[in-house]
Every structure is written in structure tokens, then in C-alpha cells.
Amino acid sequence: MPYNFNIDIHCHPGGKPYMSGRSQQRHTAFESYENEIQGRLLSRLKKFIESISEVRLATQSNFDNLHKGNVRVIIVSFTPMEKAFLIANRRADSFKNDNLKDLVMDKTVPWEDCLKSKVVNAITGFDVDDIDFVKKSMRNYFTEALLPEYEYLKQFNGQQNKTKKYRIHFVKNYAAIEQAIASDEEVICIVLSIEGAHVLSNEVPNINTLKRDQATSHRNNPNDFTPLKGYIDNIAIMKQWDFVPLFISINHHFWNGLGGHAKSLMKLIGTLVSQAEGLNEGLKEIGKLVIKSLLDKKNGPRILIDIKHMSPECRRDFYAFIKTEYWNKNDPFPIVCSHTGIVSKCRTLAAQMQQDDDAELLDSSNYLHENSINICEEDIRVIAASKGLIGIQLDEKRIAGTDIIKVIRKNKKLSGKHLRLQYVKVMFANIFEVVRTLDNKEAWNLLSIGSDYDGLINHLDFYPTAAEMPVLRKDMLSFLQAPEEISQAGYNYTVTLPEIKRLLFDLSPDEIIDKIFAGNVMDFLKANFNR
């Protein structure tokens, strides 16, 4: 059936308002507001910071924006800050400019080599007091980060916005979504997810440990199961919540002891902090046991696994593990990649494991973002076999090559809908990679939108917030109604017009757009969200 609303499977409406004041939050998840930069000098540099960090310094997926965008179902991501995000990159050549180093690094004892909290505030929009708490006081990720953020967001369940136009409705299963959508009332249905299994741990790394181990490899470390009991206990507690997350990613930006992460931080943020510890390593034995506890149906509802942020080696190990432990034992479940772009050059995980991501970033001929944080043909085939779901990210640094957006912007001949068309072509280049890989009609069933709004993204120019979702939907429909070849002079990527028409597999433009913006997610939830 066609749906007249939109769905986003990965956004962060609660992160900024929850982190808007330690003693009392200054904002709610309903509001739209600009980042409040608390450093006097940094506040004067807001436009400059936004330019070099390529991060929008304002809310994007707050409830009012979602309502304006006719987004009726969202999968909210809880993403409590990792402590390593507050440690300055200690590599000798990381700060080529001493003035930048002096501007961003704390010099007070014992917080030397940490980023100044006001600098982190300027980039993230989080309140300085909240950042200081993570830096100086937080000792338990689960009880002091995840639980409070869950309780904060849950307080909006049943609430209406100021003008009483719509209501927030947390749901426990697909039947509740179906019932809410069928009612005359305007509601935004909330499903939960988590980004980064560090939040299930009782342990927050010590500042000195993070400084010392910044470039450490854990590839040959002996197995350490010391933290396991904390993970198991906290997963059991989480599965008793009123609203249990549907899926969780094992990794986020930094090493958490469970498995290797992919490089995800670029530009200014990638200069300020280091992801080197455990980067691109495999899945650890403790990681497998945590995954088993999440997938276990005896301790509560099964929580699915989101492969986003896993390194290629970690993804390879994960697929081998679940094939042996579950799929070969007739216990299948779907795999999610909640927000991603698609690579075209490396077709296998083995090829991605050999790739130099830094070199790829410097390759100005890439039309797509070819780094290993994005999924490849091998990933797509596994997700398809599992009847999983892929969310295409609305982040130009994830779905486009290093320079392609700059080239599009500089084309003085383009304006209005013709300029927007070039951004839509980049979106469809990623989408067609999925369809070309599988080369069948069923490939269209995998696709959805996982915007990553409010996740420190570099949004696509014409679609800065969830409020613009109808504009994106209309623009993508217009492209399919009158498709054009996807290519750019000097770039290494082409989808010809005949191939585009073939890859539609006789689906109408309306059918495809309905699948991407709502239908596929509704089908996925109907099959997998029945608690």
C-alpha cells in the first residue's frame, strides 16, 4: 500500500537538548535552535567553525522539524558521547598550526592534552557543563549516560507540541505504529535504537589511559572478559525497559574493546581527535558474547545488530560468527546498516581491508565516498540475504567524493531545481549501486532513509533538516520521472540512462519513492518489530 508520509531510520532528536545543561536542560526535543557557543571568541567565529568543520550548528531532527517534514515514524538513536572524543590528537604532526593547537587544547592540570570544553561545545552544540561532566566525572556509561538520556527522551511520550498540532507516541511494536497511523490524530511514532555499544558498559576509560593508548593496536591482545558481566547485566536491564531498542551498532567512533571501528571523523574533527586506537581491527571474543546477549530471546526481546561503524575486518568476522552460530542453525535475523553510503571501487571486504582510506580521501576523481566506513558489494549481498535494511545517509561527506559537491556548487550555469538535481543524482548513485549489485527487483526492498540528522553531519545543501524531507522526496520523484545519466566530467563514475531505466525493473517512480521513504521500513517493522 502507498504511504503519504516519510520515515527516518536514524536520527538524533534527543542528543542536543539532553546535553543543553547539566543541572537543568535549557531546551526540549520539540524546539529548533542554533548552537549556543559559550566561548566569546569562538562565538564570533561561528560561521568559520561551521565552514571548516562542515557540521551544521543548529538542530535538524527536533520534533517540530520532523512534523514539518511529514516524518511520522522515526528510529531515534541514542549516542552518548565517548570520552575519547574529548582527548586531543597527540600525534606529532596532527596540528600543523601551533595557533590552532593553543586555541583548542586545555593546559590546566590534570586535563592537559584534552580539548577545551568550549571548543567541543562550539562543534557539537553540547553545553560546557555536560561536556565537563563526561570529561571529569562520568564513571559509568550505562547508568550515567544511556539511562539518563533514555529517561529524558521518554518524558516526551504522549506530549503535544505548543500548538497542539501533533503528539509524540513511543511504540512497543508494529501493531502500535499501525494503530497510530490509522487514527485521525497527527502523531510521530518513536522507535528506539543505540549507536555504539560502549554505552552498555559499566566502565568509562580513564583520561590517562586514553592518552597513553591513543595509537595502540589490540590485534594480538589476549582475551579480556573482565567487563563482560557488566555488559550482560546491563543488556538484561535494558531489555526490561518500557521501550526496548530495536537495534544497536557495536561500534561508534572509538575503540571500545568489542571490535575494530572504521575511520569516521574527517576534516577539522578528524584533526582534533585521534581514532587510531584499535582502528580497522576485527571482532573480539568479548564482542561476540555481547552480541549473543543482545540477540538472546531468553533474556528479553531480541535486539538486532547495526553494522554501521564496524571496520571491514570486524564486519567480516561478524558475518562469519552469525553464520556459524545462528543462520546455519536455522535461526535467521535481519542485518541493519542504519546510515551509510555505498562504495563502487572495492567490491569485497578483503579489498576494503587493504585500502588506504587517507589516500582515498585525497583522490579527487571519486564521485562516491569510497572509504571503508561505507558498505561494499559483499555487505549488500549479506544484508539482502538476511532481508535486512539499508539507510542512505543525508551527509555529503558520506555519499559523495571529496570534491564532487564543490564542483556542483561552483557550476554557475545551475540554479534552483537544476542545481538540486545534481544532489539528487549523488543520492541515486549510491542507491543504484545497491540495485546494480543485486541486479533484481527485490533490491529496491532494502532501501530507506537514515539521515543521521543531528549526528554532526555535513548535510546536503538543499535538505538541511528533517523539515525538508518532502522537498527531497519530490526532487527524487522528479528525477525518476525524467531520469538523466549520472556522471560528471573528470570523475570515475557513470550510470547511463539506458541502465537507469533497466534498473527500475518496471517499478513506477511513485512505487520506488514510496518504498524508499516509507514502505520498506513499514514492511521491515511488520516483520521484525513484534514484541
**Domain-located, residue 115:** no
**Domain-located, residue 245:** yes
**Domain-located, residue 280:** yes
- Angle, vertex CA 338, rays to CA 334 and CA 341, nearest 5: 115
Say whether 510 sits in a helix, a strand or coil: helix
The closest of 110, 105, 123 to 38, measured between CA atoms, is 123
Measured CA to CA, the distance from residue 32 to residue 27 in angstroms comes to 9
* C-alpha dihedral (323, 314, 11, 116), degrees to nearest 10: 160
Q: Which domain holds residue 54?
A: 6-15+42-82+136-528
The C-alpha cell at 108 is: 590546566
**Domain-located, residue 107:** no
Measured CA to CA, the distance from residue 262 to residue 279 in angstroms comes to 6
**Domain-located, residue 32:** no
| Phi, psi values for residue 73, rounded to 5° | -135, 130
pLDDT by 10s per residue, the chain, length 531: 789 999 999 999 999 999 999 988 999 999 999 888 887 766 666 666 666 656 777 899 999 999 999 999 999 999 999 999 999 998 756 666 666 677 788 988 899 989 999 999 988 999 999 999 999 999 999 999 999 999 999 999 999 999 999 999 999 999 999 999 999 789 999 999 999 999 999 999 999 999 999 999 999 999 999 999 999 999 999 999 999 999 999 999 999 999 999 999 987 788 889 999 999 999 999 999 999 999 999 999 999 999 999 999 999 999 999 999 999 999 999 999 999 999 999 999 999 999 999 999 889 899 999 999 999 999 999 999 999 999 999 999 999 998 898 888 888 777 888 889 999 999 999 999 999 999 999 999 999 999 999 998 999 999 999 999 999 999 999 999 999 999 988 888 999 999 999 999 999 999 999 999 999 999 999 999 999
- Which residues make Cβ contacts (< 8 Å) with residue 182, sequence separation at least 6? none
The C-alpha cell at 459 is: 548535510
Long-range CB pairs of 481-489 (<8 Å, 24+ gap) are: 481/509, 484/421, 484/425, 486/425, 486/428, 486/429, 486/432, 487/367, 488/367, 488/404, 488/407, 488/408
Number of folded domains in the chain? Answer: 1
Q: Is the peptide bond before 205 cis (omega within 30 degrees of 0)?
A: no
The answer to whether 390 and 446 are in contact (CB under 8 A) is yes
- Widest CA span of the chain, in angstroms? 66
> Radius of gyration (Cα) for the chain, nearest Å?
22
CATH of the domain at 231: 3.20.20.140
**Domain-located, residue 71:** yes
**Domain-located, residue 121:** no
Measured CA to CA, the distance from residue 66 to residue 64 in angstroms comes to 5
Strands of 115-176 (E only): list them.
Answer: 167-170
Say whether 339 sits in a helix, a strand or coil: strand
The answer to whether 405 and 396 are in contact (CB under 8 A) is yes
- Output the pTM of the full model: 0.96
| Phi, psi values for residue 510, rounded to 5° | -65, -40
Determine how many CB atoms are found less than 10 A away from the CB of residue 439: 10
**Domain-located, residue 375:** yes
Measured CA to CA, the distance from residue 384 to residue 376 in angstroms comes to 12
User: How high is the pLDDT of residue 39?
Assistant: 76
Q: How far is CA 206 from CA 269, 287, 318, in A?
A: 21, 21, 28
